């Protein structure tokens, strides 16, 4: 496993920012219809010693909302994106599947004035109806099944991993939608069981999974181990929170309720072979990206790159020492 970055561009400034902080792998957002752009950005990254291995895609709302016949036309478009990704040599596509997207309430503040993205259910207007109307859990999984049955065979043909991000945040019901990833462990298992394929898995956000648990520090590690051991994690957002179900803040990775060292040990032990990357970063008015480049070119992301690299180095060295000790005991 190795450190990565999401959602950053391929300008010289952005790529050198990554390399200075020890990051050699990335995903980005681009027009997935434009194969030439895809190939060009792969080449731009490679010229600076960075591998562009995944991209984020944004399937049309019609797919999660089951708006026929537009849904089929939009899924056809995604199948074209998968084909382009295969031609460009990309490893995978990261995507979201939910009718009611990312939800937050007002931010809260912490270390040295850091602004934390937050969610407090008792301050959330859950009575406001979503345009999707009521979507119960079974209906949500039916829509997922329809999507996967169309895109996964194409992904298999072109050897492109389809990595689904977890709906953020998990909750029993948000604005009429039963979140398919709640209860967390049960929902994620059901999602994976919809399609038996090496190309069907997760863009696994440790932070989002923690947000749906009563006791993240205790409950999250076995969830991570279950899916990592089964090779169902294609990308990791290595993010921590303080709190849990219905009340949480996205804090710095070293100060949350989840032991990130324990998670790194699990990823190493289960042979997870891909990127660990920051997801979001706390904000601060003194931490502003230069004009014209991605918001990832900031102190907050540099700190998290270093944190993740150190964590990978620590668990790798621990495992080697343990192995060396075991060999020594055998010889004696």
Cis peptide upstream of residue 54 (ω within 30 degrees of 0) = no
| Complete DSSP assignment for 68-105 | TTHHHHHHHHHHHHHHHHHHHT--EEEEE--SS----E
Tell me the C-alpha to C-alpha distance, in Å, between residue 135 and each of 61, 193, 243: 14, 20, 27
Domains of the chain, CATH where assigned: 2-331 (3.20.20.150)
Q: What is the pLDDT of residues 44-71, one digit of tens each?
A: 999 999 999 999 999 999 999 999 999 9
**pTM of the shown model:** 0.96
> Please, which residues bridge with residue 51 across strands?
25
User: CB atoms < 10 A from the CB of 238, how many?
Assistant: 26
Q: What is the pLDDT of residues 180-216, one digit of tens each?
A: 999 999 999 999 999 999 999 999 999 999 999 999 9
Chain segment 132-177, per-residue pLDDT in tens? 899 999 999 999 999 999 999 999 999 999 999 999 999 999 999 9
25 in helix, strand or coil? strand
pLDDT tens-digit profile of 225-252?
999 999 999 999 999 999 999 999 999 9
Q: How far apart are CA 272 and CA 252, in angstroms?
A: 23
CA distances in angstroms from 223 to 172, 184, 239, 279, 309, listed in the order given: 18, 9, 15, 19, 23
Q: What is the per-residue pLDDT across 10-45, written as a single tens digit (0 to 9) for each?
A: 999 999 999 999 999 999 999 999 999 999 999 999
How crowded is the C-beta side of 285, counted as CA atoms within 13 Å?
2
- In DSSP terms, 120 is beta-bridged to 247
Cα–Cα distance for residue pair 82/93, rounded to 1 Å: 8
């Amino acid at each position: 496993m190795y450190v990565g970055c999401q959602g950053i561009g391929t300008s010289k400034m952005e790529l050198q920012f990554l390399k200075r902080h020890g990051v050699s792998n990335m995903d980005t957002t681009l027009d997935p219809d434009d194969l030439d752009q895809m190939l060009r950005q792969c080449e731009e990254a490679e010229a600076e010693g960075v591998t562009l291995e995944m991209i984020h895609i944004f399937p049309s709302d019609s797919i999660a909302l089951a708006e026929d016949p537009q849904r089929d036309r939009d899924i056809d478009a995604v199948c074209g994106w998968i084909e382009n990704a295969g031609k460009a040599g990309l490893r995978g596509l990261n995507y979201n599947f939910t009718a009611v997207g990312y939800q937050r309430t007002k931010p809260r503040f912490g270390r040295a004035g850091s602004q934390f993205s937050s969610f407090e259910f008792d301050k959330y207007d859950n009575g406001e109806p979503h345009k999707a109307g009521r979507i119960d859990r079974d209906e949500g999984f039916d829509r997922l099944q329809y999507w996967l049955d169309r895109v996964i065979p194409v992904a298999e043909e072109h050897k492109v991993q389809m990595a689904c991000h977890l709906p953020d945040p998990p909750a029993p019901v948000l604005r009429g939608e039963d979140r398919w990833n709640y209860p967390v462990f049960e929902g994620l298992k059901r999602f994976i069981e919809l399609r038996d394929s090496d190309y069907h898995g997760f863009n696994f956000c440790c932070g989002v999974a923690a947000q749906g648990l009563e006791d993240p520090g205790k409950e999250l590690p076995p969830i991570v181990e279950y899916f990592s051991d089964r090779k169902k994690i294609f990308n990791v957002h290595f993010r921590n929170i303080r709190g849990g179900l219905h009340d949480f803040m996205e804090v710095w990775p070293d100060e949350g309720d989840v032991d990130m060292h324990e998670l790194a040990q699990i990823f190493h032990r289960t042979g997870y072979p891909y990127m660990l990357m920051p997801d979001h970063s706390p904000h601060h008015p003194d931490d502003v990206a230069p004009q014209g480049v991605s918001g990832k070119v900031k102190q907050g992301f540099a700190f998290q790159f270093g944190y993740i690299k150190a964590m990978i180095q620590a668990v790798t060295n621990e495992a080697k020492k343990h192995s060396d000790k075991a060999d020594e005991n055998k010889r004696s």
